[in-house]
């Protein structure tokens, strides 16, 4: 088992909501070109950590580094990095525009030409089997359709790192399968994925690296096999055990 | 009853024949209201956005005052602005009294609080997720702001239309600052208020019908803008 | 979706059209020439006389006369604040005070008409045909018949109050109703209440046929209602358009102006009699 490079690292990161410390991370590694899973009970700080790692939330203490280089909190540097990342939210927000405009929005923000946006949107929509939705207004979509559109919107920039927060809640079994395969293909192409999930099947099939959060602290942040080995040493299935409370 | 029907019949005739005086008065009203609303919007839309986004000391008091100003009586505005632009007032030298500009000044003051408050509400009503989403999509500060405004567009347009509805139907400001001068500051409402004193009932009814139609269109627009994004 | 977009575009085009044309008119309006602000009473404006009297003057002098019609009291206050160039009002005492205090100069008498008392056909105070207006007022008070007052400090209101004073009555009982509104609106109130009211003849003629009130008292010299024109004192307010105001005074008291006043009829009746030139001396 060859250990992969670390693309994003968090050290001594703490986050408070008022007086309450909700996150206390000594060290967290996000492994490049891998399927990283972030697990933990509700309220354990998964989404909070995801917002910090994806540079959406910069209101924290501690240090992040990208490819070994420390990230300062200057807006220009943050913007540069954010544009290499994409986030798929658990409850996506779509703008009050057409589906096509929503999917093309990140490219528009990056000042791509209209033609380029149009072609890319059409191509991606076809791949994700949502071409029939393109002309609709986002408000007309069902929950599952919204999630599919938000996935397309996240993928259109061909991100280096894809942060995904329990995307499958709103999706049916078939779509679920479809996206699991899609994400696997992306990793194979070199994309790094951080995925928050409760889905044991997904973990078993897809996980490469596993991180478990408990009350804001990291319990495990290692390769799946290592986690399993440790588990065997202790005579039980650590993932399963850790997830029972989840 | 007979003379009411007679009045309405004559009124409709006045409208259909495009009676020059009726047309002139309606045009004056539309013109002044449009300019007032536009100016109030230019100040009020950024103002409303600022109020919704910026926290400052005494904001609670500010909001309370703003909400009070929403129901500002037109005659109070008229009186206050009269004392400002009367020749003896601090702005007397500008000679705004009894001109369209005077009416516009009063109307802007009248609807500025309305536009500010409604724009503020429109921004408040936007889903908080818009902020995280915009950041994660790689929007710059300016782009985030533009996305925010774009999402609030129906609410903002609704605020502007509501302001228009208020000024086109108000009489206090137009009367006190405009003086109901024929061909200059005689608006639909001041004409209705004063021309009926001359016994020109059908004339008043004609203007009333037109005002009703304008109000209907305005309210239809508000309704359309409020529901347009939910269909 | 496309249909919605088209509708939106239509609305946008509509709004833009109104906007652009509004502003183009503002630009045009800004070019208009001299203006003279004439503050006058609602009864004068309501009579329609000014629409006949002013256009020849406007044409001759290339000026626009902006008529602001309010109650006499308010017209005088506007002039005192320097917000009008000239006033045409009917309340002799207040006019003299206005001149004596230095607000106005060169008052000239213009014309007169008369006040009348209107009342319900049932005539509960029994004053129909009475000429003595003071006695009529006393009878109204004695019989507790409802009486509508304008209560707006207008010339008519001032006249009414002076008659009550002469009659030795302080009208503050429940039969005395103050509207605080113009002549027409007050006549309407009196009509609804079937009450007595002091009105100017011009406004009454405009309402005749639409109300169930009739003239009960007329002809008392007390009901004489003279109008005066007074330019605002240029020594007090240098910004007022004194030259044009004096031109207007000259025009209105000229053969031409007085002739128009003498010939003016409404509903087939003459409304005003000229005062500056005796009718016999009119050409």
| Chain B residues within an 8 Å CB radius of C81 | 86-88
**The pairing of beta strand C86-89 with beta strand C224-231:** antiparallel
- CA–CA distance, B77 with B86 (Å, rounded to integer): 14
What pLDDT, on the 0 to 100 scale, is given for residue C134? 95
What pLDDT, on the 0 to 100 scale, is given for residue B231? 41
Q: Give the contacts of C54 (CB within 8 A, at least 6 positions apart).
A: C65, C67
What pLDDT, on the 0 to 100 scale, is given for residue C154? 86
What pLDDT, on the 0 to 100 scale, is given for residue A233? 47
Phi, psi at C163, each rounded to 5°:
-70, -45
What is the chain C residue with the closest CA to A138?
A: C1
What pLDDT, on the 0 to 100 scale, is given for residue C33? 55
Residue contact A79–B140, C-beta within 8 A: yes
Residue contact A89–B138, C-beta within 8 A: no
Burial bucket for residue C59 (CB in 10 Å: 0-12, 13-18, 19+): exposed
Q: How far is A132 from chain C (nearest CA, A)?
A: 14
What pLDDT, on the 0 to 100 scale, is given for residue C14? 74
| Chain B residues within an 8 Å CB radius of C206 | 197-199
| Chain C residues within an 8 Å CB radius of B180 | 68-69
Q: Give the contacts of B120 (CB within 8 A, at least 6 positions apart).
A: B48, B49, B51, B52, B66
**Ranges A4-8, A165-169, C43-47, C160-164: which has the least confidence:** A165-169
What is the chain B residue with the closest CA to C50?
A: B182
Q: What percent of chain B has pLDDT over 70?
A: 95
Question: In the structure, how many helices (H) and strands (E) does chain B have?
Answer: 11, 0
What pLDDT, on the 0 to 100 scale, is given for residue A239? 58
Angle (nearest 5°) at CA C9 between C7 and C12? 115
| Chain C residues within an 8 Å CB radius of A98 | 1
What pLDDT, on the 0 to 100 scale, is given for residue C3? 46
| The A217-223 sheet, strands edge to edge | A85-88, A161-165, A192-196, A35-40, A209-214, A217-223
Give which of A89, A96, A167 to mutate to test B binding, by max B Cβ within 10 Å. Answer: A96
What is the chain A residue with the closest CA to C2?
A: A135
Picking from B30, B88, B181, the nearest residue to C67 by CB comes out as B181
Phi, psi at A69, each rounded to 5°:
-100, 135
Structure confidence at residue A25 as a pLDDT band (50, 70, 90): very high
What count of CB pairs under 8 Å joins A to B? 57
The token pair at A195 is 């995925």
Give the residue ranges of chain B where pLDDT is below 50.
230-231
Plot region of C180 (φ>0 → left; ψ -120 to 50 → alpha; else → beta): left
- CA–CA distance, C118 with C201 (Å, rounded to integer): 10
Q: How far is C6 from chain B (nearest CA, A)?
A: 13
Which candidate, B179, A137, B169, A51, places its Cα nearest to that of C45? B179
- CA–CA distance, A153 with A92 (Å, rounded to integer): 10
What is the chain B residue with the closest CA to C15?
A: B34
The token pair at A137 is 């207004």
| Chain A residues within an 8 Å CB radius of C1 | 98, 135-137
SS3 readout for chain A: CCCCCEEEEEEEEEEEECCEEEEEEEEEEEECCCEEEEEECCCCCHHHHHHHHCCCCCCCEEEEEECCEECCCCHHHHHHHHCCEEEECCCCCCCCCEHHHHHHHHHHHCCCCHHHHHHHHHHHHHHCCCHHHCCCEHHHCCHHHHHHHHHHHHHCCCCCEEEEECHHHHCCHHHHHHHHHHHHHHHHCCCEEEEECCCHHHHHHHCCEEEEEECCEEEEEEEHHHHHHHHHHHCCCHHHHHHHCC
Residue contact A54–B151, C-beta within 8 A: no
On whether any CB of chain C is under 8 Å from the CB of B38, the answer is yes
Domain B2-227, CATH number (from 1.10.3720.10, 3.40.50.1820, 3.50.50.60, 1.10.540.10): 1.10.3720.10
The ranges assigned to domains in chain B are: 2-227
The token pair at B209 is 């019908």
Average pLDDT over residues A182-186: 94
The token pair at A90 is 């658990």
Which candidate, A83, A43, A31, places its Cα nearest to that of A213? A43
Chain B partners (3+ C-beta pairs within 8 A): A, C
Q: How far is C168 from chain B (nearest CA, A)?
A: 32
The token pair at C233 is 């004192």
pTM: 0.80
**In a structure prediction context, what are the per-residue pLDDT tens digits for chain C, which is 283 residues long?**
444 566 667 777 777 777 777 776 665 554 445 889 999 988 888 888 999 999 999 999 999 999 998 888 899 999 999 999 999 999 999 999 999 999 999 999 999 999 999 999 999 999 999 999 999 999 999 999 999 999 888 889 999 999 999 999 999 888 999 988 888 889 989 999 999 999 998 888 878 878 899 999 999 999 999 999 999 999 999 888 999 999 999 999 999 999 999 999 988 888 899 999 887 888 7
The ranges assigned to domains in chain A are: 1-84+160-246, 93-158
Over 90: is that where the pLDDT of A38 sits?
A: yes
**The pairing of beta strand C86-89 with beta strand C35-41:** parallel
What pLDDT, on the 0 to 100 scale, is given for residue A56? 95
Picking from A87, A105, A139, the nearest residue to B230 by CB comes out as A139
Picking from A51, A75, A96, the nearest residue to B151 by CB comes out as A96
Assign B145 to helix, strand or coil.
helix
Helix (H) or strand (E) holding B140: none
**The CATH number of the domain covering residues in A1-84+160-246:** 3.40.50.300
- CA–CA distance, A37 with A197 (Å, rounded to integer): 7
- CA–CA distance, A94 with A101 (Å, rounded to integer): 10
Give which of B84, B94, B199 to mutate to test C binding, by max C Cβ within 10 Å. Answer: B199
> In the beta sheet, which residues pair with residue C214?
C119
On whether any CB of chain B is under 8 Å from the CB of A92, the answer is yes
Residue contact B229–A139, C-beta within 8 A: yes
Structure confidence at residue A222 as a pLDDT band (50, 70, 90): confident
Angle (nearest 5°) at CA C109 between C104 and C112? 130
What pLDDT, on the 0 to 100 scale, is given for residue C185? 85
Residue contact B87–C68, C-beta within 8 A: no
- CA–CA distance, C52 with B18 (Å, rounded to integer): 23
The full set of domains in chain C, from first to last, is 35-112+226-281 (3.40.190.10), 114-223 (3.40.190.10)
Which candidate, B150, B132, B151, B140, places its Cα nearest to that of A111? B140
The token pair at C52 is 């006949």
Chain A partners (3+ C-beta pairs within 8 A): B, C
* Complex ipTM more than 0.90, yes or no: no
Burial bucket for residue B169 (CB in 10 Å: 0-12, 13-18, 19+): middle
Residue contact B137–A106, C-beta within 8 A: yes
Give which of C21, C66, C199 to mutate to test B binding, by max B Cβ within 10 Å. Answer: C66
- CA–CA distance, C195 with A237 (Å, rounded to integer): 100
Assign B114 to helix, strand or coil.
helix
Picking from B133, B150, B153, the nearest residue to A93 by CB comes out as B133
Picking from A83, A92, A93, the nearest residue to B138 by CB comes out as A83
Picking from B135, B140, B143, the nearest residue to A56 by CB comes out as B135
pLDDT tens-digit readout, C78-103:
999 999 999 999 999 999 999 999 99
Question: In chain A, which among 95-124 make CB contacts under 8 A with chain B?
Answer: 95-97, 105-106, 109-110
Alpha helix (H) ranges present in chain C? 2-29, 42-47, 49-61, 72-80, 92-100, 133-142, 155-167, 183-193, 201-207, 242-252, 255-263
| Chain A residues within an 8 Å CB radius of B129 | 89, 91-93
């Amino acid at each position: 088992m060859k250990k992969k490079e670390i693309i994003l690292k968090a050290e001594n990161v703490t986050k408070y909501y008022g007086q309450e410390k909700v996150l206390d991370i000594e060290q967290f590694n996000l492994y490049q070109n891998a399927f990283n899973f972030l697990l933990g009970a509700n309220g354990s700080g998964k989404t909070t950590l995801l917002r910090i790692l994806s540079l959406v939330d910069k209101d924290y203490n501690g240090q992040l580094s990208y490819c070994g280089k420390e990230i300062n909190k200057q807006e220009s540097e943050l913007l540069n990095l954010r544009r290499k990342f994409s986030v798929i939210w658990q409850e996506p927000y779509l703008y009050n525009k057409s589906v096509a405009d929503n999917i093309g929005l990140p490219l528009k923000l990056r000042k791509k030409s209209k033609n380029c946006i149009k072609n890319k949107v059409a191509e991606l929509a076809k791949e994700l089997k949502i071409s029939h939705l393109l002309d609709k207004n986002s408000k007309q979509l069902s929950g599952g359709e919204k999630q599919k559109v938000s996935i397309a919107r996240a993928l259109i920039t061909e991100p280096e790192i894809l942060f995904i927060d329990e995307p499958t809640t709103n999706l049916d079994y078939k779509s679920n399968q479809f996206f699991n395969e899609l994400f696997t293909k992306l990793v194979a192409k070199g994309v790094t994925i951080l995925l928050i999930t409760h889905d044991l099947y997904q973990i078993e099939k897809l996980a490469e690296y596993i991180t478990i959060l408990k009350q804001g602290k990291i319990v495990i942040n290692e390769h799946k096999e290592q986690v399993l080995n440790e588990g065997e040493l202790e005579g039980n299935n650590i993932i399963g055990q850790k997830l029972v409370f989840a | 009853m007979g003379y009411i029907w007679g009045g309405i019949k004559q009124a409709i005739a006045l409208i259909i024949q495009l009676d020059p005086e009726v047309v002139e008065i309606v045009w004056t009203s539309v013109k002044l209201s449009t300019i007032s609303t536009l100016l109030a919007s230019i100040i009020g839309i950024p103002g409303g956005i600022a109020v919704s986004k910026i926290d400052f000391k005494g904001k609670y008091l500010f909001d309370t005052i703003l909400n009070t100003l929403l129901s500002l009586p037109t005659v109070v505005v008229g009186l206050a602005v009269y004392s400002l632009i009367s020749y003896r007032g601090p702005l007397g030298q500008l000679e705004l009294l009894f001109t369209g500009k005077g009416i516009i000044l009063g109307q802007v003051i009248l609807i500025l609080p309305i536009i500010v408050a409604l724009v503020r509400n429109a921004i408040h009503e936007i889903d908080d997720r818009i902020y995280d989403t915009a950041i994660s999509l790689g929007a710059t500060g300016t782009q985030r702001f533009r996305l925010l405004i774009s999402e609030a567009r129906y609410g903002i347009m609704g605020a502007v239309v509501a302001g228009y509805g208020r000024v086109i139907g108000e009489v206090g400001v137009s009367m006190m600052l405009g003086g109901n001068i024929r061909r200059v500051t005689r608006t639909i409402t001041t004409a209705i208020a004063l021309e009926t004193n001359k016994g020109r009932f059908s004339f008043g009814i004609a203007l009333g019908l037109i005002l009703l139609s304008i109000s209907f269109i305005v309210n239809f627009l508000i309704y359309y803008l409020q529901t347009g994004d939910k269909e | 979706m496309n249909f919605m977009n088209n509708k939106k575009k239509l609305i946008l085009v509509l709004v833009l059209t109104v906007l652009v044309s509004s502003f183009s008119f503002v630009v045009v309006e800004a070019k208009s020439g001299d203006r003279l602000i004439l503050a006058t009473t609602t009864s004068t404006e309501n009579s329609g006389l000014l629409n006949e009297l002013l256009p020849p003057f406007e044409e001759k002098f290339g000026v626009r006369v902006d008529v602001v019609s309010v109650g006499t009291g308010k017209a005088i206050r506007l002039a005192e604040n320097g917000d009008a160039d000239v006033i045409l009002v009917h309340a002799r005492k207040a006019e003299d005070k206005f001149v004596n205090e230095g607000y106005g100069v060169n008052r000239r008498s213009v014309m007169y008409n008369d006040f009348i008392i209107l009342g319900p056909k049932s005539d509960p105070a029994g004053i129909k045909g009475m000429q003595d207006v003071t006695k009529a007022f006393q009878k109204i008070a004695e019989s507790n018949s409802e009486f509508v007052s304008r209560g707006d400090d207008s010339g008519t209101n001032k006249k009414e109050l002076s008659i009550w004073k002469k009659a030795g009555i302080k009208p503050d009982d429940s039969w005395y109703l103050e509207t605080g509104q113009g002549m027409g609106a007050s006549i309407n109130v009196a009509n609804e209440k079937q009450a007595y009211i002091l009105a100017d003849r011009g406004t009454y003629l405009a309402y005749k046929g639409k109300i169930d009130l009739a003239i009960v008292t007329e002809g008392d010299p007390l009901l004489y209602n003279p109008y005066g024109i007074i330019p605002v004192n240029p020594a007090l307010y240098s910004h007022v358009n004194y030259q044009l105001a004096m031109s207007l005074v000259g025009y209105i008291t000229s053969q031409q102006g007085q002739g128009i006043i003498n010939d003016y009829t409404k509903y087939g009746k003459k409304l005003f009699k000229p005062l500056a030139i005796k009718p016999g001396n009119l050409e």
